[in-house]
Amino acid sequence: MKKLCAALAIGLLGTTAVQAGDVRVLWYSDGVEGEVLGELLDRFMEEHPDINVILDNVAYTVITEQLPIQLEAGQGPDIARVTDLKSQADHWLDLTPYLEDPEYWRANFGDQADWMRPDGSDAITGFMTQITLTGGFANKTLFDQAGVELPGPDASWDDWMAAASEVAANQQVPMTAALDRSGHRLTGPNISFGANYIGEDGMPAPIGDGVKAFVEKFVGWNNDGVMAQDVWVSAAGTTYRAAAEDFINAQLVYYYSGSWQIPNFAETIGDNFDWVATGSPCGSDACTGMPGGAGLVAVKYTQNPEEVAMVMDYLASEDVVREFSERTLFLPAHKGVIEGGLDYQTDNPLVADALNAFVEASKATAPHALELPGWQWSSAYYGALVNRVSQVIAGELTLDEAYEAMDADIADVVATQSM
Amino acid sequence: MSAISDIGDKTGAALAASVKWAAGIIDPPLRWLQKKAGFNGMAAFFLAPNMLIFGIFILVPMVINFAYSMTGGGALFLPDRVFVGGDQYGRLLTCSDYSRPITCTEDQFWIAVRNTAIFVVVQVGLMIVLALTTALVLNKSLRARSFWRAVFFFPVLLSPVVVGLIWRWILQRQGLLNYILFQFGIEPTVWLTDRFWAFVAAVGVSIWAHMGFYALILLAGLQAIPKDLYEAAEMDGTRPARVFWRITLPLLGPNLLVVLVLALIRAVQIFDEVFVLTGGGPGTSTLFITQYIYEIGFASVLRNPGLAAAASILMGAVLVVLTLIQLGVGRRKDPKEAAK
């Protein structure tokens, strides 16, 4: 029965049979990284004519909705670019026996290795193609035109909301501030106000005072029109919504998103206006963003693990990581590349400043924020936050009802997954 | 002209000969089969291909879906899942106060049920009135009647995603509608973040997208009504309103029933255009049952395939009941059926 289901799923998903020597890479792009990777892989194939690397550029929803089904069926690509790394860690291949130099991997990518392997394992399953950090962006031109000074590095969320409101009123901009509709995005500010998601037993902790402190402010700002309601009430459930388009169109003064927006802003805003990355505003306990990113992992159902390891070795090599990061304007995870410095390929001075701002902000990352990407129940917490906070903003639930519902949602996920 | 006619005749003869030849080949085995299987057996033989496709793509998935609804856990494949009996149904249906969804174990299921019920009543009611009005207008001898028929039918040809996107561009904060209102000095409204207006938009857009199809069915029904009935009514000096209530509406009954059944089923299943337009928001004010099933089954990080399967079984049961009620009502209205 399972084989029948698997065959049906694979048939429906249109997966192509893999030939000996073929390595299929499932890849999604936020910007130009798909093109850059294609060129890098062409170079690899010139050096290794016996290995045929097939790059499948797909939409992000294929990664989130179709790949899990393929993996459950014991199928899928040989390598995939994934953001939900931890909860699918059982499907990743331990590359250690196939890699040329596992120590090189441990030394350069060891800090994020736990993000993509089961708890207690020392497997090497892949590496982060980019490290991201959540943080804010301000439309500097609007601030300058309004004669309002940009809040400094230790400014609080209240300071930023007050300053952005002043600018929006002065410049008659429709949207003052926005924060992506994402539990991950909400988590940085929550931790800044003292939130702790992990209980003493490693299981999800009940919604605590830290979450309540920021969520209460956040709901208030939405109700007052300081935060753009368009983002958080524009969908039901856990659907992701960003406000990048509004920032790009200069309709938004302050935007809390993350470092992955930099290439997008560099390309689409151009010299229409000046923008700056501001790091994360401070709460009562910290001024932290949330780390994250996309990892490239090997899938354990591959029939060509040695070829897969050769591709992974190549893509994780220092020169390739450096070139990939410099061309895509991504923050690398590779320690050697970070220490050696990067020469980002852009003429736009705002980009270099923004990247430096995020590197600087990463120093303020709270220890709890660093724990969450490698914690099994992060997604459950994020999902419950988005789902219920949206309902509060829409006026469907009170805050207390929402906290109770969040605890119940998280408990449901734990119970379901533990069956 | 006669040369063309000759070519036509020859082509026709050649086609007829090839069909006769093909029939000659399959005739002996079919005769043999008919002898063996009898008349009813032959009917089953000809129905078999269709039933096979129906079985594979409808019946088997329905059975598998039911089996899923009796299981729990995070595993995707049925053999790996834990049998939980009717727990998923119990979870969906448990409420301490049914008028307050937050008191239900699966509060968003009940919100979706409530939203869908309101949507069905409002949308189907308005849809039938508007489709009937449109059909009546298009049945008159208008100038450029074919053009107007095409105009009303055109949205039916559009993909639901395109419909959702078009209306989102019109209704969003920086959209066309607000631009027009602004030109007239009216304060713009963020239509899709207001719970009332977002629901109105969902109803309006779905009517816009589907009304042409139902209007076409009703138009066909109107054109099938014998003209002499209207002529007789006119000669008797009957008022137009009475003609409508006494002739048009009763004779349009079968078509209206078809429209009602189709519109009702479609309304209960509403998903794609509204999902693109509002995403189920603001909050959950346009979250309908199909989106709930999609979210719980596939899209959400809080996914639970067993719960989604149970919700879809309940939705299917409601649809079957509604359809049977309507068919029963339709039979009672039909004098021939009522006489039986």
Categorize the per-residue pLDDT at A345 as very low, low, confident or very high, splitting at 50, 70 and 90. Answer: confident
Mean pLDDT of chain B: 89
Does residue A237 carry a pLDDT above 60?
Answer: yes
Q: Tell me, what's the pLDDT at B337?
A: 53
Categorize the per-residue pLDDT at A283 as very low, low, confident or very high, splitting at 50, 70 and 90. Answer: very high
Q: Tell me, what's the pLDDT at A13?
A: 44
Percent of all residues in chain A with a pLDDT value above 90, rounded to a whole number:
70
Query: Where in chain A are the domains?
Result: 2-131+293-347, 132-291+363-418
Mean pLDDT of chain A: 91
A22 forms beta bridges with A52
Does residue B7 carry a pLDDT above 70?
Answer: yes
Categorize the per-residue pLDDT at A21 as very low, low, confident or very high, splitting at 50, 70 and 90. Answer: confident
Percent of all residues in chain A with a pLDDT value above 70, rounded to a whole number:
95
* CB–CB contact B301 A65 (8 Å): no
Query: Using N-to-C axis directions, what is the helix angle for A305-316 and A33-47, rounded to 10°?
Result: 120
DSSP 8-class letter at A355: H
How far does chain A reach from its first CA to its final CA, in angstroms? 20
Q: Which residues of A67-88 are buried (b: 16+ CB within 10 A; e: fewer)?
A: bbbbbbbbbbbbbbbbbbbbbb
CA-to-CA dists, residue A47 to A51, A52, A249, A325, angstroms:
9, 11, 44, 22
Q: Which A residues in the span 228-267 are in contact with B, Cβ-Cβ below 8 Å?
A: 229-230, 233-239, 241, 249, 251
A73 CB near a chain B CB, below 8 Å? yes
Query: Where in chain B are the domains?
Result: 2-69, 97-339
In this prediction, residues B36-49 reach a mean pLDDT of: 89
Categorize the per-residue pLDDT at A240 as very low, low, confident or very high, splitting at 50, 70 and 90. Answer: confident
Model ipTM? 0.80
Residue of B nearest to A413 (CA): B302
Categorize the per-residue pLDDT at A16 as very low, low, confident or very high, splitting at 50, 70 and 90. Answer: very low
* CB–CB contact A237 B79 (8 Å): no
pLDDT (tens digit per residue) in B158-184: 999 999 999 999 998 888 999 999 999
Residues of A in contact with B78 (CB under 8 A): 1-2, 5
DSSP 8-class letter at A361: H
The rounded distance, in Å, linking the Cα atoms of A354 and A140 is 12
Q: Tell me, what's the pLDDT at B1?
A: 52
The rounded distance, in Å, linking the Cα atoms of A87 and A383 is 14
Does residue B75 carry a pLDDT above 90?
Answer: no
pLDDT (tens digit per residue) in B134-148: 999 998 887 888 888
* CB–CB contact A235 B302 (8 Å): no
In this prediction, residues A265-294 reach a mean pLDDT of: 93
In this prediction, residues B242-257 reach a mean pLDDT of: 92
Residue of B nearest to A5 (CA): B77
Residues of B in contact with A381 (CB under 8 A): none
pLDDT (tens digit per residue) in B177-206: 999 999 999 988 889 989 999 999 999 999
pLDDT (tens digit per residue) in A58-75: 998 899 878 988 898 888
Categorize the per-residue pLDDT at A286 as very low, low, confident or very high, splitting at 50, 70 and 90. Answer: very high
* CB–CB contact A412 B302 (8 Å): yes
CA-to-CA dists, residue B229 to B219, B235, B242, B245, B248, angstroms:
17, 10, 13, 13, 10
The rounded distance, in Å, linking the Cα atoms of B337 and B330 is 9
The rounded distance, in Å, linking the Cα atoms of A102 and A100 is 6
* CB–CB contact A73 B77 (8 Å): yes
CATH number of A132-291+363-418: 3.40.190.10
- ω before A281 within 30° of 0 (cis)? no
In this prediction, residues B251-264 reach a mean pLDDT of: 91
Collapse the DSSP code of A154 into the 3-class scheme (helix H, G, I; strand E, B; otherwise coil) and give the result.
coil
The rounded distance, in Å, linking the Cα atoms of A367 and B1 is 92
The rounded distance, in Å, linking the Cα atoms of B276 and B163 is 9
In this prediction, residues B52-81 reach a mean pLDDT of: 91
In this prediction, residues A84-99 reach a mean pLDDT of: 93
Least confident of A27-31, A179-183, A301-305: A27-31
Q: For residue B329, give the nearest of B217, B267, B254 by alpha carbon.
A: B254
Whether residue B9 contacts residue B15, with contact meaning beta carbons closer than 8 Å, is answered with no
In this prediction, residues A197-202 reach a mean pLDDT of: 94
B173 CB near a chain A CB, below 8 Å? yes
Mutate to test the interface with B, among A234, A399, A403 (most CBs of B within 10 A): A234
Residue of A nearest to B293 (CA): A237
B300 CB near a chain A CB, below 8 Å? yes
Whether residue A388 contacts residue A405, with contact meaning beta carbons closer than 8 Å, is answered with yes
Query: Does the domain at residues B97-339 carry the CATH identifier 1.10.3720.10?
Result: yes
The rounded distance, in Å, linking the Cα atoms of B264 and B123 is 9
Categorize the per-residue pLDDT at B101 as very low, low, confident or very high, splitting at 50, 70 and 90. Answer: confident
Q: Sign of torsion, CA A41 A45 A47 A50?
A: positive
Categorize the per-residue pLDDT at A19 as very low, low, confident or very high, splitting at 50, 70 and 90. Answer: low
User: Identical fold at A2-131+293-347 and A132-291+363-418?
Assistant: yes
Does residue A18 carry a pLDDT above 60?
Answer: no
Q: Tell me, what's the pLDDT at B127?
A: 96
Does residue B334 carry a pLDDT above 50?
Answer: yes
Does residue A40 carry a pLDDT above 60?
Answer: yes
Does residue B2 carry a pLDDT above 80?
Answer: no
* CB–CB contact A235 B279 (8 Å): yes
Residue A234 has its nearest CB partner, among B78, B193, B299, at: B193
In this prediction, residues B234-238 reach a mean pLDDT of: 89
pLDDT (tens digit per residue) in A144-157: 999 999 998 899 99
Categorize the per-residue pLDDT at A3 as very low, low, confident or very high, splitting at 50, 70 and 90. Answer: very low
Categorize the per-residue pLDDT at B40 as very low, low, confident or very high, splitting at 50, 70 and 90. Answer: confident
Query: Does the domain at residues A2-131+293-347 carry the CATH identifier 3.40.190.10?
Result: yes
In this prediction, residues B29-54 reach a mean pLDDT of: 90
In this prediction, residues B45-69 reach a mean pLDDT of: 94
* CB–CB contact B190 A401 (8 Å): no
Percent of all residues in chain B with a pLDDT value above 90, rounded to a whole number:
58
Whether residue A352 contacts residue A150, with contact meaning beta carbons closer than 8 Å, is answered with no
